[in-house]
Homo-oligomer: A and B are copies of this chain.
Amino acid sequence: MTLRQLKGTKEFLPKEQLVREWIADTLKRVFKIYGFKPVETSILEFYDIAASKYAGGAEILKETYRLKDQGNRDLILRYELTFKLAKLIGMNPEIRMPFKRYEIGKVFRDGPVKTGRLREFTQCDVDVVGIKSQVANAELIALAFRVFQELGLNAYAQVNSRKLLFGILKEFGVDEDKFTDFALSLDKIEKVGKEAVVKELREKEFNEDVIVKVFSVLEEAGKFNGNTNKLDYFTNVLNNELAKEGISELKDLFKFLKDFNVSEVELTPNLARGLGYYTGTIFEFYLKDSKIKSSIAAGGTWDSMIQKFIGTKIEYPATGMAFGLDVIYEALKDSKINITNIPKIYIIPINTLKDSIKICEKIRSEGISCDIAYTKKLGKALNYANKEGIPYCLIVGEDELKKGKYKLKDMRSGDERFVSVEELISLSKKSP
Please report A residues at the B interface, Cβ cutoff 8 Å: 1, 3-7, 9-14, 17-18, 20-21, 28-29, 32-46, 48-49, 52, 65-67, 69-71, 73, 75, 77, 84, 87-88, 90-92, 95-96, 98, 100-101, 106, 108, 110, 119-120, 131-133, 135-136, 142, 146, 256, 259-261, 310, 340, 342-343, 353-354, 357-358, 361, 364, 367-371, 374-375, 384, 387-388
Q: Are A259 and B357 also in contact (CB < 8 A) when A42-B9, A44-B108, A110-B69 are?
A: yes
Assess whether A35 is in contact with B370, with CB atoms less than 8 Å apart.
yes
**What is the bound-complex CA distance between A170 and B90, given in angstroms?**
59
- Name the contact of A17 in the complex, choosing from B13, B39, B354, B388 (C-beta under 8 A): B39
Which of B9, B13, B49, B84 is A88 in contact with, Cβ under 8 Å?
A: B13
Q: Which residues in B have their C-beta under 8 angstroms from that of A354? A: 259
With a CB–CB cut-off of 8 A, which chain B residues contact A18? 37-38
Cα–Cα, bound, A431→B36 (Å): 20
Determine the chain B residues whose CB is within 8 A of the CB of A106 once the complex forms: 43, 106
Q: A96-B384, A136-B374, A357-B256 are in contact. Are A42 and B10 (CB under 8 A)?
A: yes
Judging by beta carbons under 8 Å apart, are A374 and B261 in contact? no
A88 touches B256 (CB 8 A): no
Q: Are B38 and A260 in contact (CB under 8 A)?
A: no
Q: Which residues from chain B contact A34 at a C-beta distance below 8 Å?
A: 364, 369, 371
A3 touches B49 (CB 8 A): yes
Complex CA–CA separation, A384 to B130 (angstroms): 13
A63 to B14, CA, bound (A): 30
Q: How many copies does the complex hold?
A: 2
Chain B residues near A12: list those with CB within 8 A: 39-41
Q: Specify the chain B residue showing the minimal Cβ separation from A49.
A: B1
Question: Known contacts A133-B375, A342-B35; is A13 also within 8 Å of B92 by CB?
Answer: yes
Chain B residue at minimal CB-CB distance from A37: B14
8 example contacts (A-B, Cβ-Cβ < 8 A) are as follows: A1-B49, A9-B43, A18-B38, A33-B370, A44-B120, A96-B384, A98-B375, A136-B374
Contact status A46-B4, CB under 8 Å: yes
User: Which of B11, B41, B69, B136 touches A11 (beta carbons < 8 Å)?
Assistant: B41
Q: Given A10-B42, A14-B101, A44-B108, 16 more contacts at CB 8 Å?
A: A4-B49, A6-B75, A11-B84, A12-B40, A12-B41, A32-B369, A33-B367, A33-B368, A35-B342, A35-B370, A36-B342, A44-B119, A66-B67, A98-B374, A133-B375, A259-B353
CB distance from A61 to the nearest CB of B (A): 12
Is A52's CB under 8 angstroms from B1's CB?
yes
Chain B residue contacts of A40, Cβ below 8 A: 11-12, 17, 20
CA–CA, A41 and B49, complex, Å: 28
In the complex, chain B residues whose CB is within 8 Å of the CB of A342: 32, 35-37
Tell me the smallest distance from the CB of A144 to a CB of chain B, in Å. 13
Residues of B within 8 A of A75 (CB): 6
